[in-house]
Structure 1
C-alpha cells in the first residue's frame, strides 16, 4: 500500500478541527446567551417591580454577561488552541514518519533484487527503481507521471491484458518467460503483477516486479544438461550405480539398479536399504555398510538371487562420500560378472570337452580300426557258420549251435556298424533308395520298438525323390530317433514320421548356417513329448551326452545319427521347446540315376506375387526378418509383429485392410490358433496360414491345428512361401476355420 502526503491528499490536517471547534463555540455561546437573557429577565421580573432598580440590574447584568462570555470564550479558545497545538505536533510527527516511510520505500525500490515500478489506474508511473530503468534501457529518463504505454508504445496486447487483470484485483506471476530486448538479445525474466489498494479499499493501481534470471536460467539449463548426461551415462552403464544417504535411504539409482529390484524411480528413491534388500541380504551387507560409513571403501564379491530366481555373481564397491572429512553417504557400484563367471566355467568346460574330444577322436580311430578288423573276423565266422550249416544239413545236432554262432555274429555286426557310424568310417554299400518304401518296411519293427501306448503315424510324401545311401544307415537313424522320441513321452503320446521334397536356394542358405543350396529329400521324426531347452539342444549330438538315467542310454544314438547324415553329405535341424515336443528334420541330397545327364540347377517354380496386406506374426527375430523380406519382394504389404500382443494392436489399427494372417503356431504368450480367434472380431474375413518347425500331425495331436488347414513347414524357400501364400489368397471359401 503506498504512503501519501496528507496535504496533497486533502489540505491542512487542523482545518477540520478548527471548523468543528468553531461550531461548538457558536453553539455554546448561543445557548449561554439565550439562557442568560431569557432566564435572568424572567427571574428579575418575578422578584422586582421597581423600574429604576430594573434598569440598574439590566446594566449590571450586561457587564456580568460580558464577563461570563469573555471567560467562556477564553476557556473554549484556549482549549481550541491546545488542540491545534497537539494537532500540529501530530502533523509534524506524521510528516516525519511519512518522510521516513518514503525514504524506506525508496530504499526498498532501489535495493530490491528485482526491478520495481508502481502505476496508478491509468498505468502512469508513480514510482520506479533504477534497476527498472537499467533493465529496460531507459537510462536516466524521468518517466514519473508518464503512461507505461507511452514509454513502450509497441507493448503487446498480452501484457495489456495482464495489466487489466491486475487492475481488476488479480495477482499474476510467471517464473520464467522469454523476453526479447530491443537489441535483439534473448532474456529470461521472472515477473509478478500485484494490485495496490487505496484507503477506501479500492484498487489504486498495480505494482510490477521483474527479475532478470537469464544467468540463472543458463546455469539451470547447463545443470539440467549435465544431469541428463550423467543420468543417460549411468543408465546405460552395464552395472548398478546408486547413492545411499547417511541414514541409509536411497538418494539415486540408475536404470539397471531399478530394473534389478523391479521398481520405478519414485518407488526406490527414499526407500530404506533394509526394506529394499530384505532382512537377510541387509544383514549380509551391514558390516560393509558400517565400514563405509566410517570412511573405509569396501570391495567384495558375492552371489545374489535375481527376481526370476537366477543366481548372479556380482562385484560390489562401496565408496564413501567424504565432505570436509565427514561421511554424508556412500556410492554403490555393482558389476554383474555372471557372464564372466559363466565364460570362465564355459572355458573350463570347453577345455574339458577338447580333452574329451581328443580322447574320443583317439577312441574313434581305435574303434574304427578294431571294428574294421573285427568285421573281417565276423565275415569269416559267419561264412564258416553258413558253410557248416550247409554241409551238416537239416536235423543235425550241431546245426543249432551254428545258428547261434551266426545270430551272435549278426548282433556283433550291428554293434560294429554303430561304432563305425560314430567314427564316420562305416563301410557302406550305398544304392538308390526310395525312403517311402524303406520306412514302410520298418514300420512293424518300429511299432514294436515304441510300444502300444504310443501312436506311430506315417505321412509319406508324394512323388518322392530318391536318395543314395545304405539302407542299414536308414534303419539306424529311424531306430535311434524313435527310441529317443519314445523316452521323451510320458504315458501315451504320438510319434510322426514324414517325408517330402525340399529345395533350398542361395538366398535361404545365406541366412541359415550349414545349409547348402540344392534339392533334398526330407525325413522328419516328431514327437509330442517333454521337449528340450536350449542348453540341452546345444549338446545333443555330442558323443556320450545323455539326459537319460544311468544304464538307459549310451549317449551314442544321436551322435551316430549325426555322423551318418554328415557321411551322406546331408544336414540335420532340430526344433524343440520345453513342453512342446521335438522335431528332427534330416535333409539328404537328391540322387540322380547313373548314366543320366546331370540335371541343371533347378529354376524357381513359377509363381507370382500380389499387392495384398499380410499380417506376419513370428517370435523368432531372424525368421521374421527373412519372411518379411521374402514377402516384400513379392510385392505384398507386410505388417510384422514380434508377439501376439503387437499383432492384436495392428489388427485393431488396420482391420479390413488385412487380407491374410501368417502366424507361427507355438509362441510364448499364446498359440497361433488362439491368436486367430482373437483377431476375428477385427478382421472377420481374413484368411490364415499357419507355419511351424513342428509337423502338422503333432500340432494336430496337441489340438492347435486340424487337418486341412493352410500350413507351411519350416524351413521354406522363397518359392515355397510365395506359392503357398498365393494359393491361400486365391482359394475360395471361408476365410478361417
Structure 2
C-alpha cells in the first residue's frame, strides 16, 4: 500500500534551516570571544601594570594574539561547519537518490503491473497513472496528471463517486467481476479495487484504483460454464447411466440417472469407492472388466441387475478407457437400461403379427371389392332381364316361375356382394346424424324376431349419449349380424344384451392398444352368455368366409361385414371371449361434434312412378345399357342411349336444354362420370345427374362417403329401385341433396 514516502519530492530552492542556525552560532561565539578578550585582558593588565609605554606594547601584542586566536577559532568553527554541511548535503543527496530510485520503482510497478493503476489525492486529482489505464479507458497519450478525475470523466455515475468517498474515508472496496460498457458499445468485464494511501500514519493522502480487464477470462469462464451446463444437461437427460471412475476407483462424475439408480445424491457418490458403491457381489462381477479397461481395453457386456425396488433390469454396459499419453487415468462408464427395449421387442413381434393380419384383411378386402364390382354388373343384367321377362309374360305362363327363381337368386347374390363390399369398405354410404339410442330402439322389434323367443334380448341405453354420423342401414347391418352370431352361440336358452355409452380414449391408452385412436367415441356393445371362443378362433373371426357354423348355416361374411363397416366409419371393434363364458363385441364409433346438428329421422321411400322426361343414359357395358334403356322406356321416359362419353357429348350438343337428366356410369375408359357431367353442363346448364356404379369410386365419394349434392344408385338395382331413384332426382329441388 502506498505510504507518505510516495509524496512529491522537495525542490532545490527550498531554504535549509540547519545552515541559518550554524551561521548564528558562529557569529555568537565570535562576538562572545571578542568581548571576553577585550574586557578581560584590559581589566587584568590594568591591575598588574601602571606604565603607559608598557601598556602600549602589551596592547599591540594583545592585538596580534587576538587576531591569531580569533583566526584559529574561526578556522575550527568554519571547518566544523563545512564538515557538517558536507555531511548533510551527502545525506540529502543520498536521500534524493533513494527517493528517485523509489519513484522509478513505483513507475516500473505502475507500468509493469497486469492491472491498470491510477493514484489520486484527496481532491481526486491524478498524481500518477499507468499507460494501461490510459489505454483501457481510451485516453491515448493525454497528459492528465493534476487533472480531476471528474473532469476527465464528466459523466461518471454517482455510485462511483460514492465508492471514491468511501475509499477516501479509509475503506477498501473491491469487485471481482463488474460489467463495463465501452464507448463503442462493446461489453467489457473488469475487476477493480479502491484502496486509500497515507501521507503519514493516520493521515489519508488519497486513493489508488486498481482496474484489471478480465473480459477474455470472463468469456472463457462463461464458455466453460456453458459447456459444463450443456454436458450436464445432456448427460442428465440421457436415458442411461453415465459416470467416470478415476484410476484409484473413486467416482469422479455421475449423471442424474446414475444417482437415481443407486438412490443417492451426486455429492454422496462423487469421491466414493466403487467397491463401497456397488457392494462386494456386484463389484466382484465387474472387477474383471474394470481391470481390463484400466489396462486400456474397452469393455462391452450385457447382464441382468436387480434394482433397489427388486425389479430385474437388463443393462448393456460400456467401459471406455481415458487414455492420456498412453496411460490410463480412469475410465468412462455408459450403462443402458434395455429392459423396455426387450419388452418393446416382444410387443413389436405382437404388433407385427397384428399388422400382418390387418394387411391380409386389406388384401382380401381389395380382392372381394373387385369381385363384387364385376359381379354386380352381371347381376344388374340378370335382374333386369328377369324383370323384363316377367313383365312381358302373362301371369299364367309356365316360364314365369323360372324367371322369378332367377330374379330371387340374383337378389340373394346381390345381398352377398353387398356384404363383400361392406367388408372391403367400398360400400357406398350416405351418412346422417344419428342418436344411437333412438336408432337401436326402432330396431328392437325386428331384432327380437331375429333372435327368437327363447332368448332374452336386454337393452341398456347410455345416458346423455353423444351423436354419431353414419349410414342408418350400416347400423342395421352391424346389429343384425352381431345379434345373429350371438343367437347361434347360445345352445338353448340365454341372454343377449345391447348397451350404449360414451367413451374417451387418451394417447397413453391408445399407445398400448393397437388400432385405437385418441378421441371421443360412442360405444355399442352386444354381449351373449353363449359358448364363447378360444384364442385361435378369435384371431380369425373377421376374415371373410371364416365360420365356425356347420355348412349351410352361414356365409362367413357377417363379422367381416361388421369389421368393414366399422373401419369405413373410422371406428374400431374389440372382442372379448373365453370358452364357456360368452362373448362381447364392442363397437366404437367416432363422436359427431358439429354444432347444431340434429339426428335425422328415417322417411319411408316414395312409391315408384314413371314420367315423360328425356334422359341421357351413359354406360360403357352394352348389356347393362340395353337393360337400363328398356327399364326406363317401360316407365315412359324418352331415353338417349350412349355407350361412351363422346356419344353423350354429341347428344348434348343436339338436344341441349331438352335433356332433363343424365344417368351415367362412374368409371368409364375415356372419361369418368363426374368429368362428363361437368362438360355436359356447358350445353345443358340445368340438367340433373344420377351416378351409378358397382362400388364406391373416389370420383364421387371419399372412403365410401358420397360427396355433398351427389345422387347415386348402386348396382345391381331392380326396376323399382331405378324408377324410384330417377323420379326422386327429377322431382328434387335444386338445393336438395339426394
TM normalised by structure 1 equals 0.46
Q: Which has the larger radius of gyration?
A: 2
